[in-house]
């Protein structure tokens, strides 16, 4: 499913009006009605319930006024409070205010007819609060009195439905602009916005419903939106086929270059991830101790030993030779980022011509000189968590978290595919961007990223195109965590590996 930004939404509205002569007033009417229908779906009979509709002066507030009018079909217990000066109202909002007044609805002006204490009482007495204060037009930190009002709603409201987006969220980032509504339900229009899928916005959105408001699908499609949520039907289409007439090499050879005496477990998790998604031949190049453990856990692994405790230029020829025999490579988990390891990583990358996924210490090594990425002759995937990405782009972690614009820029500048990991994982090749919403907090555990590298690497080795291998990989990895039946967080990473088949099965079904 596509995602649309605030700017793109305005453009779509403009195109609808210009090319189809569908006016904004029509869209607003449909938007308001859609919210009431969504409330009916969620709460059942609305007749015994009381509603307080909080409206700003922009068109989000106009939607709220339409909600209020349509609620009157169900109940008389509808109150409305307008926040902001009437002179600043958009024309559509003013028209809808007039309609409500003609119907005899009690519309109060905040600061004139009611103060903060009075509003607190109204919020406490209402069953449902409709939040139509700020929508896609919100700019900068939320100003008072809106921030005080948002605070009251969060303190006292029973059930909150947000119109389009929870007021106080930045539409295109999901950041909280000082203070934001925590909604139980958000009804958005046409398509989800970035704030619904990126944290903290994703959490404040509550349940998300996407409503059609009369903008034809063909018009949306003509915009060629480049960002989307990964769905099951998308990944089902790219899951590689299992041809009956096959042998182990049919399903790809993956070379895993990982591990050191310090990190014995990471390479094993990567290899198991690859085997679990159906890779035919997984070869691990690592130190002796890692190999013994790895083959002990899974005798189907092919192991080649290096001489010492960690990689150095001595291993370069052997690694290049094995790379020649492979379809794809995973480089990084547990390598350490000591100088001689990084020397190996840099030289190896400059000489290979097979698709490569760089993770963990592989990324830490290249963060000293990211331009090496531009010299790799084959497709490159990088799978940083925000800390690793921060080191790559030399910015603070908080600024790079969920920063899809930065990930897109990096992907284009360095000709790589970025998998920026997080509670919402972002996959981008710079031209298209995908958000993975599947998975839970069980994945927030050391080793879970190593499994992901193996899963993506395994798909890559099977010939899945690099961006698609990432899309498929993050989805399957996330879904595997949802297959765990006990309390979130109690899952071991080795159990995650063993749940991958159930996730693949669900995707294939």
Ligand X SMILES: NC(=O)C1=CN([C@@H]2O[C@H](COP(=O)(O)OP(=O)(O)OC[C@H]3O[C@@H](n4cnc5c(N)ncnc54)[C@H](OP(=O)(O)O)[C@@H]3O)[C@@H](O)[C@H]2O)[C@@H](O)CC1
- Binding residue numbers for (6S)-NADPHX: 59-63, 135-141, 164, 266, 334, 385, 450
Query: Which of K ion, ligand X, none does 104 bind, CB closer than 5 to 8 A by kind?
Result: none
How far, in Å, CA of 122 to CA of 325, rounded?
A: 71
In this chain, which stretch among 151-159, 162-170, 192-200, 441-449 interacts with K ion, using CB under 5 A? 162-170
Site for ligand X in 90-129 (CB under 6 A): 90
Binding residues for AMP: 421-425, 449
* CA-CA-CA-CA torsion sign (386, 388, 393, 397): positive
136 binds ligand X (CB under 6 A): yes
| Greatest Cα-to-Cα distance within the chain, rounded to the nearest angstrom | 86
Return the DSSP state at 305: E
Told to check if 138 binds ligand X by CB under 6 A, we report: yes
Distance CA 408, CA 432 (A): 8
Minimum Å gap between C-beta 367 and ligand X is 36
28 near ligand X, judged by CB under 6 A: yes
Based on CB atoms, which residue is closest to ligand X, 110 or 410?
110
Residues with Cβ within 8 Å of 273's Cβ and at least 6 positions away in sequence, in order, are 450, 451, 452, 453, 454, 455, 457, 458, 477, 497, 500
CB of 168 to K ion, least distance (A): 8
**Contact track, ligand X, 190-229, x by CB under 6 A:** -----------------------x----------------
Sign, CA dihedral 38-43-49-51, equals negative
* Number of residues this chain uses to bind K ion (CB under 5 A): 4
Which residue's structure tokens are 């698609």?
468
| 3-state DSSP assignment of residue 124 | helix
235 is written with which tokens?
Answer: 């990944």
Q: How far is the CB of 84 from ligand X (least distance, A)?
A: 6
Nearer to ligand X, 133 or 285 (CB): 133
Tell me the binding residues.
Answer: 59-63, 131, 135-141, 164, 167, 266, 334, 385, 421-425, 449-450
Regarding 60 and contact with ligand X (CB under 6 A), the answer is: yes
Three-state DSSP state, 417 = strand
DSSP string, 306-360: -SSSS--GGGHHHHHHHHHT-SEEEE-TT----HHHHHHHHHHHHH--S-EEE-H
**What is d(CA 280, CA 381) in angstroms, rounded to the nearest whole number?**
21
Instruction: List the x/- string, 126-145, binding to K ion by CB under 5 A.
Output: -----x--------------
The Cα angle at residue 58 between residues 54 and 61, in degrees rounded to 5: 25
Stretch that binds ligand X, among 23-31, 396-404, 474-482, 492-500 (CB under 6 A): 23-31
Select the residue whose beta carbon is closest to K ion and give its number: 167
> Is 140 an interacting residue with respect to ligand X (CB under 6 A)?
yes
Among ligand X, K ion, none, the one that 56 touches (CB under a kind-dependent 5 to 8 A) is ligand X
Residues that bind K ion in the complex, under the rule CB under 5 A = 131, 162-163, 167
Q: Which residues bind ligand X (CB under 6 A)?
A: 9-10, 12-13, 27-28, 31, 56-61, 63, 84, 88, 90, 134-143, 146, 163-164, 177, 189, 213
């Amino acid at each position: 499913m596509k995602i649309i930004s605030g700017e793109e939404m305005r453009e779509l509205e403009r195109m609808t009006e210009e090319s189809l002569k569908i006016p904004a007033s029509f869209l607003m009417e449909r938007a308001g009605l859609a919210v009431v229908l969504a409330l009916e779906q969620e709460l059942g009979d609305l007749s015994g319930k009381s509603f307080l509709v909080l409206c700003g002066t922009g068109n989000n507030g106009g939607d709220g006024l339409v909600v209020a009018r349509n609620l009157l079909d169900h109940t008389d217990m509808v109150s409305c409070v307008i926040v902001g000066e009437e002179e600043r109202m958009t024309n559509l909002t003013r028209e809808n205010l007039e309609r409500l007044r003609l119907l005899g609805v009690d519309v109060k002006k905040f600061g004139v007819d009611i103060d903060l204490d009075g509003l607190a009482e109204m919020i406490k007495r209402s069953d449902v609060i409709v939040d139509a204060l700020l929508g896609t037009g919100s700019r900068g930190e939320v100003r008072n009195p809106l921030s005080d009002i948002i605070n009251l709603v969060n303190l006292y409201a029973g059930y909150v439905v947000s119109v389009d987006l929870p007021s106080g969220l930045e539409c295109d980032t999901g950041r909280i602009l000082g203070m934001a509504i925590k909604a139980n339900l958000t009804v958005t229009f046409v398509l989800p916005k970035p704030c619904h899928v990126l944290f903290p916005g994703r959490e404040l959105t509550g349940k998300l419903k996407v409503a059609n408001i009369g903008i034809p699908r063909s018009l949306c499609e003509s915009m060629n939106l480049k960002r989307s949520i990964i769905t099951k039907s998308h990944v089902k289409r790219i899951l590689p086929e299992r041809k009956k007439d096959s042998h182990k090499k049919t399903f790809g050879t993956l070379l895993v270059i990982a591990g050191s005496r310090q990190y014995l477990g990471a390479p094993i998790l990567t290899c198991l991830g690859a085997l679990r998604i159906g890779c035919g031949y997984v070869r691990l190049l690592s130190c002796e101790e890692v190999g013994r453990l790895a083959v002990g856990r899974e005798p189907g692994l092919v192991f080649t030993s290096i001489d010492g405790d960690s990689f150095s230029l001595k291993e370069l020829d052997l690694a290049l030779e094995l790379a020649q025999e492979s379809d794809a490579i995973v480089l990084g988990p547990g390598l350490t980022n000591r100088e001689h390891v990084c020397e190996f990583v840099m030289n190896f990358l400059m000489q290979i011509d097979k698709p490569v996924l760089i993770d963990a210490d592989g990324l830490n090594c290249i963060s000293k000189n990211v331009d090496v990425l531009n010299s790799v002759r084959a497709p490159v995937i990088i799978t940083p968590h925000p800390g690793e990405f921060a080191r790559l782009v030399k910015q603070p972690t908080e600024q790079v978290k969920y920063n899809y614009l930065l990930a897109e820029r990096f992907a284009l500048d360095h000709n790589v595919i970025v998998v920026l990991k997080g509670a919402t994982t972002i996959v981008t090749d710079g031209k298209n961007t995908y958000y993975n919403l599947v998975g839970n907090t069980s994945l927030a555990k050391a080793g879970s990223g190593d499994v992901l590298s193996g899963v993506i690497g395994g798909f890559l080795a099977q010939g899945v195109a690099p961006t698609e291998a990432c899309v498929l990989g993050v989805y399957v990895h996330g879904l595997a965590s949802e297959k765990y039946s006990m309390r979130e967080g109690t899952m071991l990473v080795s159990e995650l590996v063993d749940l991958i088949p159930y996730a693949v099965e669900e995707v294939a079904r």
